C-alpha cells in the first residue's frame, strides 16, 4: 500500500518538515477529499503523526514503508512444468481464456 501519492506526500514532508492537508493537496494536485483519505490511511499505518492541523512523518516511518514495499516486491511462484505443457497441448486454451474470464459477468441480475 505504497501508492504514488503516498510517495509524493512523503517526499514533500521530508523536504518541508510538516504540512496542512490543503498545502499537500495543492502540492500533489489532488482533491481535498482524496488527500484527507490518504493522510488518514497513512496515519493509521503509523507513517504520519498529527499535531493540530499539521501532519509530520512519524519517527519510525521508514520501517513502515519498507514493510509495505517488501510485500509488494515478492515474486509469484513459477508455474509448474506440467501446467505449462498442458497449456501448450490444449488447442482450445486461448478460447477458454476468453470465455472463461467472462463467466461471472453473465450471472448478474
101 domain residue, yes or no: no
Among all chains, which residue has been given the C-alpha cell 509469484? 76
Give the range of the structural domain holding residue 25, as residue numbers without chain letter.
Answer: 1-89
Q: Residue 52 maps to which CATH number?
A: 1.10.10.10
User: In sequence order, which residues have a C-beta less than 8 Å from that of residue 20 and are 6 or more positions away?
Assistant: 53, 54, 55
Tell whether 70 is covered by a domain.
yes
pLDDT at 54: 92
Question: In tens digits, what is the pLDDT along the chain, a chain of 109 residues?
Answer: 467 888 888 888 888 888 999 999 998 899 989 999 999 988 888 888 888 889 998 887 776 665 444 444 555 555 677 777 776 777 676 666 666 666 555 555 4
Q: Is residue 109 part of a domain?
A: no
Q: How many residues does the chain have?
A: 109
Whether residue 9 contacts residue 24, with contact meaning beta carbons closer than 8 Å, is answered with: yes
Q: pTM for the complete prediction?
A: 0.56
Q: Is 107 among the domain residues?
A: no
Query: What gap in Å lies between CA 11 and CA 65, rounded to an integer?
Result: 12
Q: Per the structure, how many domains does the chain have? A: 1
In whole angstroms, what is the distance from residue 64 CA to residue 47 CA? 6
Name the phi and psi angles at 19, rounded to 5. Answer: -160, 155
pLDDT of residue 3: 78
- CB burial string 78-105: b at 16+ within 10 A, e below: eeeeeeeeeeeeeeeeeeeeeeeeeeee
* 21 domain-assigned: yes
Any domain includes 105: no
Amino acid at each position: 500500500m505504497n501508492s504514488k501519492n503516498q510517495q509524493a506526500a512523503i517526499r514533500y514532508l521530508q523536504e518541508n518538515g510538516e504540512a496542512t492537508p490543503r498545502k499537500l493537496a495543492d502540492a500533489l494536485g489532488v482533491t481535498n477529499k482524496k488527500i484527507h483519505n490518504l493522510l488518514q490511511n497513512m496515519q493509521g499505518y503509523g507513517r504520519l503523526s498529527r499535531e493540530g492541523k499539521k501532519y509530520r512523518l512519524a519517527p519510525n516511518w521508514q520501517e513502515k514503508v519498507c514493510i509495505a514495499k517488501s510485500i509488494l516486491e515478492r515474486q509469484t511462484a513459477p508455474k509448474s512444468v506440467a501446467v505449462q505443457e498442458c497449456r501448450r497441448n490444449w488447442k482450445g486454451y486461448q478460447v477458454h481464456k476468453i470465455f472463461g474470464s467472462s463467466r461471472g459477468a453473465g450471472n448478474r441480475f
